[in-house]
């Protein structure tokens, strides 16, 4: 593959939730073809599909093998978000297609959300807000929260870029931190548990911040929740697939654990009614990175990866499975 020739038009598919800033990022020599959903994509003619050289995936829509096979000339898939379990990177690697993602630019925002969600869950902020709005403060006091950050040890599940940023915040708040990941994280001095169950027995709080996909699927299961114990709190800012959702609901209902703060769910945007009815959960609609500032930076990185590629430059942030080996 080569950089685009002067005057040549480059066809780019913009696939996923509508993002005006991504579309506006491709002026002049790019022709964009914008499709929000898999159903919409069925309207794309085979003639145009055959011309597509770059794909911007603007959300968690599935860019699986079946979808990608429609685009025989694609050179780069630039995905929005640091997690890329929704992109078939194995297919891309087989075909010599580069996949890029958006690491770093969202790390601190997601870490802020994780800590906020943990504190809101422990200290019952959402119910306290409802109490004030309902005018109940005039006639009574809000009950003391059962949970507190003061008497906890947090077991991080995942200690990568975002895990380390969350751990830094916890350490600054004088909360002891340990972690589980498959390998010790280079340069990290918190205690490492190669075995998740061993860690779950030793802590009362889990903060999940791993990728999704097969290797982490339902790793937080009934046994792990039982090991955490009745003071147990789970915060999930990773992927819904990391938790066995029915087992979590059962553990929350039966008091096997105390509470959960969830930003991600197994079948988004569907959140089971049973979960929505529970008093001991805080539920967010997958917003960990969702500020204007951070989302703008993520949009720009999607655009800049594609532009760099078609300028004949290396991709800015390729995923490890599709390293740059030249144009």
Under the criterion CB under 6 A, does residue 199 sit at the interface with ligand NAP?
A: no
Catalytic annotation on 109? Answer: no
The option from ligand NAP, ligand 8YV, none interacting with 152 (CB < 5 to 8 A, set by class) reads none
Among 82, 105, 117, 165, binds ligand 8YV (CB under 6 A): 82
In three-state secondary structure terms, 295 is helix
58, 79, 216, 305: which one contacts ligand NAP (CB under 6 A)? 216
Instruction: Please tell me whether residue 288 binds ligand NAP under the rule CB under 6 A.
Output: yes
Shortest distance, CB of residue 227 to ligand NAP, whole angstroms?
16
CB of 242 to ligand NAP, least distance (A): 8
Give 106 or 120: the residue with its C-beta nearer to ligand 8YV: 106
Tell me: does residue 240 bind ligand NAP (CB under 6 A): no
**Residue with Cβ nearer ligand NAP (79 or 216):** 216
Please identify, among the stretches 30-38, 46-54, 80-88, 216-224, the one whose residues bind ligand 8YV according to the rule CB under 6 A: 80-88
Residue 234 to residue 157: CA distance in whole angstroms: 10
Per DSSP bridges, beta strands 30-35 and 10-15 are parallel
Whole-angstrom Cα distance, residue 320 to residue 316? 12
Selecting among 152, 239, 245, 295, the annotated active-site residue is 239
User: Would residue 168 show up in a list of annotated catalytic residues for this protein?
Assistant: no
Question: Considering the complex, what minimum distance in angstroms separates the CB of residue 142 from ligand NAP?
Answer: 29
Q: Is 78 exposed, middle or buried (0-12, 13-18, 19+ CB in 10 A)?
A: buried
CB burial of residue 177 (10 Å; 0-12, 13-18, 19+): buried
Question: Is the separation of the CB atoms in 179 and 162 below 8 Å?
Answer: no
- CA distances (Å), origin 188, targets 182, 184, 210, 317: 14, 8, 16, 23
141 CB-contact burial (10 Å; exposed 0-12 / middle 13-18 / buried 19+): exposed
**268 an active-site residue?**
yes
Coil vs helix vs strand at 270: strand
Q: How far is CA 230 from the centre of its chain?
A: 27
Return phi, psi of residue 194, to 5°. -65, -20
The span of 39-47, 209-217, 220-228, 244-252 binding ligand NAP (CB under 6 A) equals 209-217
Catalytic site residues?
239, 268, 286
Which residues of this chain interact with ligand NAP, rule CB under 6 A?
A: 82-83, 103, 106, 110, 158-163, 181-183, 185, 209-212, 215-216, 237-239, 263-264, 286, 288-289
- Give the residues lining the site for ligand 8YV (CB under 6 A): 59-60, 80-83, 106, 286, 289
């Amino acid at each position: 593959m080569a950089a685009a020739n002067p005057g040549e038009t480059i066809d780019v598919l913009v696939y996923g939730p509508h993002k005006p800033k991504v579309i506006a990022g491709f002026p002049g020599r790019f022709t964009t073809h914008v499709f929000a959903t898999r159903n919409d994509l069925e309207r794309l003619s085979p003639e145009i599909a055959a011309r597509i050289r770059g794909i911007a995936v603007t959300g968690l829509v599935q860019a699986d093998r079946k979808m990608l096979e429609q685009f025989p000339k694609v050179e780069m898939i630039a995905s929005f978000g640091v997690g890329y379990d929704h992109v078939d990177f194995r297919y891309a690697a087989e075909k010599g297609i580069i996949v890029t993602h958006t690491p770093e630019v969202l790390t601190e925002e997601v870490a802020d959300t994780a800590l906020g969600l943990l504190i809101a869950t422990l200290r019952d902020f959402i119910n306290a807000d409802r109490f004030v709005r309902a005018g109940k403060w005039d006639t009574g006091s809000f009950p003391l929260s059962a949970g507190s950050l003061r008497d906890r040890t947090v077991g991080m599940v995942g200690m990568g870029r975002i895990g380390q940023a969350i751990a830094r915040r916890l350490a600054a708040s004088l909360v002891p931190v340990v972690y589980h990941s498959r390998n010790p994280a280079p340069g990290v001095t918190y205690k490492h548990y190669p075995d998740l169950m061993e860690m779950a027995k030793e802590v009362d709080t889990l903060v999940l911040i791993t990728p999704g996909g097969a290797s982490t699927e339902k790793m937080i299961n009934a046994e792990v929740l039982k090991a955490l114990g009745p003071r147990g709190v789970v915060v999930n800012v990773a992927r819904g697939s990391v938790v066995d959702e029915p087992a979590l609901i059962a553990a929350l209902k039966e008091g096997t654990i105390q509470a959960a703060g969830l930003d991600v769910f197994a079948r988004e945007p569907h959140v089971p009614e049973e979960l929505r009815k529970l008093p001991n959960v805080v539920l967010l609609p997958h917003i960990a990175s969702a500020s204007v500032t951070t989302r703008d930076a993520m949009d720009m990185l999607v655009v800049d990866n594609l532009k760099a590629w078609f300028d004949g430059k290396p991709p800015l942030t390729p995923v490890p499975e599709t390293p740059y080996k030249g144009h």
